[in-house]
Structure 1
């Protein structure tokens, strides 16, 4: 059963790295952040536009491994149009998963992560954690700029 779940998780990551959601640039962003993972060279820029307490639009551009690109794609799908509080909560929850070194979170938290739960296995590899969190670091910085 564990092997079947791991294969499913790997497939989710591969699917999102190939068919990327939210990739592009915003013409009038309220916040923008460029981040680089010096370990492997992955890089991304995340741009946000806010409206009435919501993350009206989030877009990203980047290059790197399937893990970083899939994480950005799923981030976009889960947060585009969401309330800022939800964006903060999901970012914190994803960071908690990544720092768990491959251990699943409580069932309710794991369910709340939706497709992000596919990164549970990635968290077993410290060098890959940075790949998964790269876009989330850019999002956090872009949101801080937009809120200022």
Structure 2
């Protein structure tokens, strides 16, 4: 009898996971709190959701959904990136700035620390004709 209950709980968890995946894969990240996601996606309370999933499991499901969204929009983003890149090459300064931010991870507010120069030792050399 215990096995039947376990399987029932397992199938319920799998059902909830599928519903979360479907819901989260169309939702922008950070849009709703976990409480709202539990209510809207599963029709249960946050506490009930945590009976089925650990916070780590929910984080993993959310990451999987983010990857699904990225795959869905990757071709469109390539076109946008290409357009921005072509405008940057043509001399558009905001587009060039965006290219560096997007492709090189540059942050205009990031402070760049100059590496400390090694101590320079000076030598005094005196040349004479003596060998």
TM-score calculated relative to the size of structure 1: 0.27
Relative contact order higher in (CA < 8 Å, ≥ 6 apart): 1
Larger strand share, 1 or 2 = 1
Larger helix share, 1 or 2 = 2
Larger radius of gyration: 2
TM-score calculated relative to the size of structure 2: 0.30
